[in-house]
Amino acid sequence: MRKTVVFIVLFFMICGSIYATGLSKTKSYKVFNEGYRVGYVEGYKYQAKGTEGTEPSEVPSPPVPAVGKEGYGDGYRRGFEDGHERHKRNNYEKNGILISNTTTLK
């Protein structure tokens, strides 16, 4: 009987810690996602520099953050780069310049 009680207590402690870890990851992903969205819009606007269409029509879903890169600043940085790149691609597509999906614009 005593072993059963100890087992049940340990089981609930382990389940609780797993649940708490999941909650903290969910919160960090929300922070990363918010930074990504803000960074994407800012990167798009930065590349536009006052031209027409300075607001992106839509912000894509944020990517899954890399391990250890889950903060707001990490999301902002990634979003800024992606928004900057998207505006460049839009300009090239408007001007009839064909580029492949693997081409990185600098």
* Residue-range definition of the domain harbouring residue 42: 2-94
Let me know if residue 32 belongs to a domain: yes
For residue range 28-87, what is the model confidence (pLDDT) as tens digits?
688 999 999 999 999 888 877 766 657 777 888 898 888 888 899 999 999 999 998 888
- pLDDT recorded at residue 23: 41
Question: Is residue 53 in some structural domain?
Answer: yes
Q: How many domains does the chain have?
A: 1
pLDDT higher than threshold 80 for residue 24: no
Domain for residue 87, yes or no? yes
Residues 6+ apart with CB under 8 A from 71: 28, 31, 32, 35
Is residue 65 a part of any domain in this protein? yes
3-state secondary structure the chain: CHHHHHHHHHHHHHHHHHHHHHHHHHHHHHHHHHHHHHHHHHHHHHHHCCCCCCCCCCCCCCCCCCCCCCCHHHHHHHHHHHHHHHHHHHHHHHCCCCCCCCCCCC
Residue 105 counted as domain residue: no
Whether 49 is covered by a domain: the verdict is yes
- Give this prediction's pTM: 0.61
Is 104 inside any structural domain? no
- Does 10 reside within a domain? yes
